[in-house]
Amino acid sequence: MDPKAIINSYVGDVIRHLPRRQRNDIALELQSLLQEELAERAASAGRPADAPMTMELLSGFGVPRDAADRYRPAGFTIIRASDAPRFTWIALGGIFLIWAITLPAALLGVTPIVGWDYGADTWWGRLTVWWLGTGIGALWWPGAVFVYALIGALAGRRRESGEIPWKPTPPRAIDRDLISRPVGALYVALGLLGVSVLVALPSLEALAPGLPRPVLDALALDPEFLSGRAPWILLLWAAILAVYVSVLLTGRWSLIALRIRGLLGMLTLGIMLWWVAGGPVFVSAGADTTAKALLIAIGAYAAFDAALALRRGWTRATSATPLKRSADSPTSRS
């Protein structure tokens, strides 16, 4: 290939990545400069310029996109290096959370399958429908987080002209294990109220005979569920109540309380999944589907809370160990 044609092709590829108004001017200059560079190389080598010599020159200049980037002013940062780990956690964590809620719901048949007949009643058919719908669809989340970061970066860029000076924040003691007793008491009271409502549900007809028949029918619990799977939750609730009352009395989350909270959270998830997978909860199909979706959501929240509690417990245990060791060490005793 003719060296001039190679240079023209290269310049054409470079200016493709540049703003239109600069293209002709930069193309003319770049062509002229590259030809002079090539002529100098040819003179140094003592032979006419050829294709390999031209390619060597252009490879030193860089691939067209890189060369075009150098003509542009520096861009701006969308995600700062210090925000990158948090961005990754939020983006990926969101996807996994959506999957953790929707996948069991799809596999357990809680989410109705509409407009898909092939394998609709098999696990792989549900998995396919889930993947083509919510599974891939969950990728909207990192997109939304990115757009949010982009808007933040653009707003930050505008603010840069009148940058607000940094001010130190007054020191404050952060004790994440300390609880607010009034809020804690309210939490326990609301929990007890909720439990009372649920415990009263099987006797709803006797307790509130004035309710319309469709409401009573819709809230009728499945007899097998009531006799088999339901009672176990009472033990769990009792354990949860005991933990929260003890925390309320001491005023803070102890390491053991955090560990028990984690364990109870995992048990809650297990019971919720068992309830959903073990058969109908309500007699009415509509109420059953809704209740199962709620149970999965509760299970997912319980799992999240358990992970949080166990992580806090683990962090406390690991940060306390070196202190304990150093306190026991001969150096500290001397």
Partner 1 sequence: MVDRGVQLGKLEQDLRKGVLVLAVLSQLRTQQYGYSLRQALAQRGMPIEEGTLYPLLRRLEGQGLLVSQWQTDDGPPRRYYELSAQGVEIQRDLTTAWGSLASVMDRLLEEED
Which residues of this chain interact with partner 1, rule CB under 8 A?
25-26, 28-30, 32-37, 40, 60-62, 66-67, 70-71, 73
Locate 204 and state its tokens: 């709803």
Give 201's DSSP letter.
Answer: G
In the complex, what is the shortest distance from the CB of residue 72 to partner 1, in angstroms, rounded to a whole number? 8
In the complex, what is the shortest distance from the CB of residue 53 to partner 1, in angstroms, rounded to a whole number? 14
Return the number of the residue (34 or 103) whose C-beta is nearest partner 1. Answer: 34
Distance of CA 126 to the CA centre of its chain: 24
Return the number of the residue (34 or 300) whose C-beta is nearest partner 1. Answer: 34
Paired residues of 252 in beta bridges: 178
Are the CB atoms for 281 and 288 separated by under 8 Å? yes
Return the number of the residue (70 or 333) whose C-beta is nearest partner 1. Answer: 70
In the complex, what is the shortest distance from the CB of residue 12 to partner 1, in angstroms, rounded to a whole number? 16
The single-letter code of the amino acid at 52 is: P
In the complex, what is the shortest distance from the CB of residue 48 to partner 1, in angstroms, rounded to a whole number? 18
Are the CB atoms for 229 and 274 separated by under 8 Å? yes
Distance CA 167, CA 222 (A): 61
In the complex, what is the shortest distance from the CB of residue 274 to partner 1, in angstroms, rounded to a whole number? 54
Backbone angles phi, psi at 27, to 5 degrees: -60, -45
> Would you say how long the chain is, in residues?
334
Return the number of the residue (60 or 115) whose C-beta is nearest partner 1. Answer: 60
Name 288's Cβ contacts closer than 8 Å, sequence gap at least 6.
222, 280, 281, 282
Return the number of the residue (70 or 167) whose C-beta is nearest partner 1. Answer: 70
